[in-house]
Amino acid sequence: MTDREFVRYEMFGRAKIFCEANQEDFPNTSDFHIHLASLTRIHGALDAGKEAQIVTRVTAKSVLLEALRTDVRNITRTAAALDSAQPGLAAQFPPPTSHSDADLLTTTDHILVQLQIKTDDGDATKAAKTALADRFIRKDLPQDFVQHLADDRTAINNAEAEHEEDREGGVLGTAAVGRLIRDGMTEWRNLNAIMHNKYTRNPDKLRAWNSASHIERLPERKKEPEPTPPPAAAQ
């Protein structure tokens, strides 16, 4: 919801409250009740959409990344412990260079290249990877720690793809909000005409309606100051 849409959403809420508080002034035959019902529905739909936008939740990807971080930390820590008996192993399995997700994934990929057996690996390569993984397993890492790491890496790729689908789906949500705002403004124009007709001789209520249905102006953006021209060169 943009700032422009949000101030209209807030106005719909104030206008709805005013209408509900004064609905007994209007007979059942008045179109007032039809437009109030429509505005109430529109405001409710916008309210639900707003809540969905601001609710913070832990995504599947963040959970997977945290699990992956723990697994990588265990593997690199074990490699450092094994380094005393097999020098160079710590350098072969260094920890991520930073706490960023990108470095974590790069480290994971590096570990998998050295430990995960591929279908096109030769027999010697498969035997070497199996022997290397066994050194970690003897330090009490799970028997399937390499496959577990690979599965989590694949799951993160899938989570990224799902996030992209959700992001693209958000375009539809944005279009729906715009449509609801336009429909709400139509209902407001009808209610505004009705209120002026009804309360033309009741200035207090008309003033209260105008206050409730007033659309707040957005703050003006500060203009960038004009750059000071350099002093003219002396002649």
> Which among 89, 67, 65, 64 is positioned nearest to 78, based on CA atoms?
89
Residues 102 and 186 both lie in one domain: no
Residues 103 and 136 both lie in one domain: yes
pLDDT score at 218? 59
Residues 68 and 115 both lie in one domain: yes
pLDDT band at 217 (very low <50, low <70, confident <90, very high): confident
Residues 71 and 156 both lie in one domain: yes
Residues 75 and 148 both lie in one domain: yes
Which residues does 142 contact at the CB level (< 8 Å), separation at least 6? Answer: 148
pLDDT score at 5? 87
pTM (2 d.p.): 0.49
Contact 156, 65 (CB under 8 A): yes
pLDDT at 231 over 50: yes
User: How much of the chain, in percent, has pLDDT values that exceed 90?
Assistant: 65
Residues 72 and 120 both lie in one domain: yes
Number of domains in the chain: 2
5-12 mean pLDDT: 92
State the residue range of the domain holding 101: 60-161
21 vs 12: CA distance, rounded Å: 14
Considering the domain boundaries, does residue 72 fall inside one? yes
Average pLDDT of the chain, as a whole number: 85
Considering the domain boundaries, does residue 105 fall inside one? yes
Residues 100 and 48 both lie in one domain: no
Task: Give the lowest-confidence range in 39-48, 75-84, 170-179.
Answer: 170-179
143-178 residue pLDDT tens: 999 999 999 898 888 776 655 555 545 544 677 888
pLDDT score at 61? 73
Residues 179 and 207 both lie in one domain: yes
31 vs 38: CA distance, rounded Å: 11
Considering the domain boundaries, does residue 230 fall inside one? no
Residues 74 and 116 both lie in one domain: yes
